[in-house]
Amino acid sequence: MNPSTQGWITKLQLASESFFNNSKNWDEHEFYDYLLNAGFIYGTNISCINTELKTELNYTQEELAKLNLVYALMHVCKSKSAGTTNTSEIEQIISFYTQITSNSKKNFGVSLASKNHALNLETIIHNRVQPKGSLLQKNFSKLLTNAMLFADVICFQIWLKQPEKLNQLAIELEGVLINLVYLAIQEKTELGKYEELIMKLLLSSLRYEKRNQNKMCAFDEVNFKILDDYSIKKYAIDLICMAIYSDELIEVSESEFVFQLALKIDLATNEVQSSIEYLQKFVTEYKSEIAYFNAKNPLQNFYSRTQRNTQVLLRRNKKRLTQEIMESKELFILLKASTNRDLSLTEKQKVKEQLFDIFKSIPSLAIFALPGGGVLLPIIIRFIPKLLPSSFNENNKFN
């Protein structure tokens, strides 16, 4: 099951019957903890909440975010609507996003004419997880946009019970969460450019109400009533902890703010301590995967993530790629030569043209042949010999 290709949601349903049967027994705390442990709450997905899912693919963070969002929404739907068919669950999720989009500044692709509900939902989920904008901007805004995905899950829970309250709830919940993150960041002794970046991207990711820093409420003016159950309270604390930990330090004033908030929303002190300790553990283990910890060198961070994503796509198509390269004597010789010397401009152009022809013939690699794909060519040329070592060392086949 590949969340980057068409038809994955139908496959997810077929492969997940056991998961959904087991998850029906989760209470609110267990459901939240599964999403937290997967990194979904932080916007840095490092695993799938369906630990039984078998795959040979090395999922990207974006693919894991898609999987976890769909699993979370379907879990909520199945828990609230016993006996509902899979098709009806998909239709309910689409109806939810249709209503929420009608009041949003951003469209998630819900105005689709296709009669295939699963494919329509795939488009919605893709657009929800993948923010628009320049490639470099996407690299940072994904973290913050995807950290707000749990708000979709919360709103969906409310929508299933009281659909007429959805639009106002979505506006208020998003506004309160962003407001609290803003107030927490202001507690820092010295605001750096990375904190400013976080705040800027948070404000730009607002879907329902355009805000600037001048429209933020003071702590005592925040509508805390909307944080009315365990998951929402815990989510607010975890979201704030993630934002203030951008410098890998929680100052006394920041800690006091978090505990003051917990007191205000009636969340136990040990829950706050647990949030802080788990975040520190998560960052220690997955720091290299979290975008804003690499913000000191955005170009290097962008290059590293692009390199990883490129390698994932090439590995997934290794068999077909090997076949195509082996059938092209000139391309094989040039790629082999590139491991020992720099290719001339003429040779590089030949490699580019022949690789692009191959990419066009393999649907999942066609993205490399699009305008701008040439910037990835050095990454591809360096990686192919590592991907196909036996082919490049097997008695110098064409020499």
Token pair listed for 246: 């951008």
65, part of any domain: yes
181, part of any domain: yes
Q: Pick from 126, 149, 136: which is nearest to 4 by CA?
A: 126
Please tell me whether residues 22 and 106 are part of one structural domain.
Answer: yes
Identify the pLDDT of residue 12.
94
Token pair listed for 24: 């029906």
Please tell me whether residues 324 and 371 are part of one structural domain.
Answer: yes
Q: How many CB atoms lie within 10 A of CB 218?
A: 8
Please tell me whether residues 95 and 226 are part of one structural domain.
Answer: yes
Please tell me whether residues 283 and 202 are part of one structural domain.
Answer: yes
310, part of any domain: no
E strands, the chain, are none
- Show pLDDT as tens, one digit a residue, over the chain (399 residues): 889 899 999 999 999 999 999 998 899 999 999 999 999 999 899 999 999 888 878 898 889 999 999 999 999 998 876 544 455 799 999 999 998 877 555 555 555 556 789 999 999 999 888 654 434 344 445 556 688 899 999 999 999 998 898 988 888 998 899 899 889 988 877 766 656 666 666 666 666 666 656 678 899 999 999 999 999 999 999 999 988 887 778 888 889 999 999 999 999 999 999 999 999 999 989 888 876 666 554 444 555 666 777 778 888 888 888 888 888 888 888 888 888 888 888 888 898 889 888 888 887 787 776 665 666 677 787 788 777 656 555 444 444
What CA–CA distances, in Å, run from 116 to 68, 84, 95, 208, 378? 21, 18, 14, 28, 39
Please tell me whether residues 120 and 212 are part of one structural domain.
Answer: yes
399, part of any domain: no
Spatial neighbors of 146 by CB under 8 A, at least 6 apart, are 40, 43, 44, 45, 61, 65, 129
- 304/47 Cα distance (integer angstroms): 20
Please say whether the beta carbons of 42 and 242 come within 8 A.
Answer: yes
- 91/186 Cα distance (integer angstroms): 42
309, part of any domain: no
In the chain, the number of structural domains is 2
DSSP letter assigned to residue 41 = T
Identify the pLDDT of residue 104.
58
- 247/250 Cα distance (integer angstroms): 8
Out of 294, 326, 361, a domain closes at 294
Which DSSP helix (H) or strand (E) runs through 386? Answer: helix 377-387
Please tell me whether residues 83 and 134 are part of one structural domain.
Answer: yes
- 199/182 Cα distance (integer angstroms): 7
337, part of any domain: yes
Q: Pick from 52, 65, 67: which is nearest to 12 by CA?
A: 67
Please tell me whether residues 242 and 327 are part of one structural domain.
Answer: no
Identify the pLDDT of residue 144.
62
Please tell me whether residues 184 and 227 are part of one structural domain.
Answer: yes
For residue 54, what are the domain limits? 8-294
Spatial neighbors of 164 by CB under 8 A, at least 6 apart, are none
How far is the first Cα of the chain from the last one, in angstroms, to the nearest whole number? 40
306, part of any domain: no
Counting every residue, how long is the chain?
399
Please tell me whether residues 282 and 371 are part of one structural domain.
Answer: no
Identify the pLDDT of residue 135.
40
H-helix segments, 24-148: 28-37, 61-80, 86-101, 117-129, 135-147
Please tell me whether residues 41 and 156 are part of one structural domain.
Answer: yes
Please tell me whether residues 223 and 170 are part of one structural domain.
Answer: yes
Identify the pLDDT of residue 335.
87
What CA–CA distances, in Å, run from 393 to 321, 339, 386, 390, 397? 17, 11, 11, 5, 8
